[in-house]
Amino acid sequence: MFDTVVIKAKPIYLDSDVLLSKKNCKSVTFLNKETGVLQTRYELYDEQLSYIKYLDGSQTLSIQVSIPKLLYGNNVTLIAEHDIPSFFESVQQRIQQLFSISIPHSAWSISRADVCWNFQAGKDVGEYIRMLSKQKLAFKNTRSYNQDQTVEFSNKSSRIMFYDKQKQMQRDKALSELVEQSKGILRLEIRPSNSDMKKFSSTKNAAELLGKPLFDYMTAKALSQIEYPSTQSAIDTTWLQENKANISKIETTLGFQCLQYMLDEATHRGLYSSSTFASRKALAKKMTIPAGNCLKPLAINQ
């Protein structure tokens, strides 16, 4: 449901001596150009909460942590909505241990919340990634990396990413049981924009955002944009005879879909005028052609 989050709370007073007494704590003093006042940023790498940052000028405490890693020790395991209270309790307990302070759950706001899901794609993980790498989502750039094991659709405010989870665990040299657990997983991770998060909480309150409504909205929004090119292998003579009045449209659609499957979006689009490409794409969406040997649409079952 969710993986990495960055949560913030303020005003929180932390003593500099307490911060610097912690293992792996670093500090940098700098001049705030807006206020003209010297401020200090403290950074602490913690075994439980991963990364902690404190700005003494604004008295802002920030934590970046993977919720499943905090609760289960790995991020292959998906958390459920009932895990969220345990996450806040674990954060509170660790903050109490480190700094002897208590921060109410309601005081945390979110600056980043990665929505995630594991699709069990079996041997077709690579095929899904290859298919996705040839697509372009609205207002986002498409990029493939990690030797074509990852596809990212992103702009300055948000990101949608699909990748081979097992290959990622192998690159990170994870425990063998986690590598095996991640076998066949096509991982989806979405980083919502501020605008998307504010639809569910105007203040981006963490307790309000970390729940099923935001998860459902973001995954539905992402998955609805994915197209699944079909092949002609499931088309038989009977179906063609029944639809011979539309044979010209069928030919056009199959040719377009074939190129769509073979080429990346930019190359495919460049073969047509903008109006012709738009009309072909609209036709392909409207035509109901028997799909053979195509990948199943990705769907979330909870």
pLDDT per residue as tens digits for the range 45-97:
999 999 999 999 999 999 999 999 999 999 999 999 999 999 999 999 999 99
The model's pTM? 0.81
- Among residues 147, 188, 189, 185, which one has the least CA distance to residue 166? 185
Domain positions in the chain: 1-107, 113-226, 232-286
Predicted confidence band of residue 292 (pLDDT cuts 50, 70, 90)? low
Average pLDDT estimate for 100-112? 96
Average pLDDT estimate for 236-244? 86
CATH 3.30.310 assigned to domain 113-226? The reply is: yes
With contact defined as beta carbons under 8 Å apart, do 155 and 140 qualify?
A: yes
- 24-33, 175-184, 289-298: segment of lowest average pLDDT: 289-298
Q: Which two tokens stand for residue 171?
A: 């690159």
Q: What is the reported pLDDT for 257?
A: 80
Q: What is the reported pLDDT for 295?
A: 82
Q: What is the pLDDT of residues 152-202, one digit of tens each?
A: 999 999 999 999 999 999 999 999 999 999 999 999 999 999 999 999 999
